Amino acid sequence: MFEFACGCAVWLAVLFAAPVAAQSILPGAGIAPMPSGCPGGGQSMPPPKYPTEIYGASGTVTLVLDLDRCGQVDQLWIETDSGYQALDRAAIETATKWRLTPEFRDGVAVPSRVRVPVDFAPPSPQQLADHQARAQAKWDLVWSLAQVPEVAAARDGSVDGFVPDASPMDEGSATELLSLMDGARREGREVPGGELGWPAVRVTNDRGAFQWLLIEDSHPAAPSLIRQRLVSDGKKSFYASRILCGAAKPSDCAKLEKMVRKWPRQQPGDPLPQKVSAPPRRTPSEHPLGRSRLVPEDPNHPTDPAARPAWQRG
């Protein structure tokens, strides 16, 4: 739905720093060989992918990385965010896979801390206009399919947890559809049994426009899928659900549907807009450097002991 082609210009200024007070230096450092006893390969810093859902946004997120003696990222902080969570996440997800040339002291590789500003440059006005036109054309198709008849709401504004979806599911058995979702399953989130009445895996895509609940393994109704589709009745948006049960016994499928119909009521959102627009910009905030696990504390640059890294290995 929102699979739009775009690019980002990423300026990476890599620095080798004093133990705690990381300072930027010019690009081009990091040409020394990797130390012995480390995994093969050299420095690798692929740029992050620009998150297409906020195409047109720009900003710089400054990351601070702790490196081990092999140049691998051990933990990571956001020192200054970009103003957009999506840009911050893109930078973090990529930086966790980076490998830099480690710092050498007296010819010996040592753990170090580095600062890397990652700049997401804005597209040109023409690129932005072309993207908006493509996005709107695709959204026009999606928006029309997402319109449903009005659904009655309770006095508190809530609607039934299970609103039947008249839109058919892709053709195929539950087993066939589950096999097609292998890749998405790996990105899914385990749902505890108490939340839905049984263990499942929730897979969300297209900005949450679709949610899939995959029911497998030991559940009597397995294999089954429940598709939740974000729809709008012109006054509010909510999820409509459709069940595809692959259980051998019809009674198990009937039991599954009965459980789904008892889902807690859902609180609707605003009606789906007809025009595509970028989400509002957040106010940038400062994130203090946390204590490094690899290098000693610098008394001249104390850190916040309550600070926690945005990511850490292991």
pLDDT of residue 252: 92
Q: Of 6-15, 219-228, 269-278, 294-303, which range is least confident?
A: 6-15
pLDDT of residue 94: 93
Same domain, 61 and 44: yes
Same domain, 161 and 186: yes
Range of the domain at 104: 1-146+277-314
Same domain, 248 and 290: no
Same domain, 248 and 281: no
Look at residue 268 and tell me if it is in a domain: no
* Separation of alpha carbons 15 and 165, rounded Å: 54
Q: What is the mean pLDDT of the chain?
A: 76
* Separation of alpha carbons 52 and 138, rounded Å: 14
Same domain, 309 and 293: yes
Q: What is the pLDDT of residues 243-265, one digit of tens each?
A: 988 888 999 999 989 989 998 99
Q: What is the pLDDT of residues 117-169, one digit of tens each?
A: 999 888 888 988 898 898 899 889 889 989 999 999 999 999 999 999 998 87
Same domain, 69 and 207: no
DSSP assignment of 256-284 equals HHHHHTTPPPB--BPPPPSS--PPPPPPP
Instruction: Please state, for a pLDDT cut of 90, what percent of the chain lies above it.
Output: 24
82, 88 contact by CB (below 8 A)? yes
Same domain, 164 and 256: yes
Q: What is the pLDDT of residues 78-125, one digit of tens each?
A: 988 888 888 898 999 999 999 988 888 888 888 888 889 999 888 888
Same domain, 78 and 186: no
Same domain, 166 and 22: no
53, 95 contact by CB (below 8 A)? no
Same domain, 299 and 155: no
On the question of pLDDT at 201 being above 80, the answer is no
For the chain, the domain total comes to: 2
Q: Look at 223 and 206; give whichever has higher pLDDT.
A: 223
pLDDT of residue 254: 94
Neighbour-count burial for 220-229, b at 16+ CB within 10 Å, e otherwise? ebbbbbbbbb
Same domain, 178 and 122: no
Look at residue 196 and tell me if it is in a domain: yes
